[in-house]
Structure 1
Amino acid sequence: MPRRTSVRRNTVGLVAATALLAALCVASLAIGTQHVSLSTVWQALTTTVSGAGSATGDEWIVRDLRIPRTVLAVVVGVALGLSGTLIQGVGRNPLADTEVLGINAGAGLFIVTAIALLGLQGIWTYIWFGFAGALFSMLLVYLIGMAGRASATPVRVLLAGVAIGAVMDGLGFAVRLRYPRAFDNMRFWDAGALDGRPLEVAAAIGPFVALGAILCLVVSRSLNVTAVGDDLATSLGGNVVRTQVLSLVAVTLLAGAATAGAGPIGFVGLMVPHAVRRFTGPDWRWILAYAVVVAPAVLLAADIVGRKVIAPSELPAGIVTAFVGAPVLIWLIRRRAVGA
Structure 2
Amino acid sequence: MRSTSPQPFPAGRGIEGEGEDVRFPLRPLLPLPPHLITHNGHVMTTSNLTSHRNRGRRVFRGPSPLSCLLLLLTLTLGQISGMTEEPVAPIEVKLVSTQTGFEAGKKFTIGIHQKMKRGFHTYWKNPGTLGMPLQMDWKLPSGFKAGPIQWPAPIVTKMSVYNVWGFEDEALLLVDIQAPKNLKPGHAVRVEGVAIWMCCGDQCYPGRKELALQIPVVKNAQPVPHWKTLSNKTRQQQPAQSERWNISCTRKDEEYRLKIASTVAPIPGDVRFFGYDRQVSSDKAQRTIPGEKAITLVMQQEEHTGEKKDSLTGILVAKGEWEEGRPVLAVDVPVVESR
- Give the TM-score band, short-chain normalised: under 0.3
Greater per-residue helix proportion: 1
> Normalising to structure 1: TM-score of the pair?
0.23
Question: Larger C-alpha radius of gyration, 1 or 2?
Answer: 2
> Normalising to structure 2: TM-score of the pair?
0.23
Higher RCO structure, 1 or 2 (CA under 8 Å, sep 6+): 1
Greater per-residue strand proportion: 2
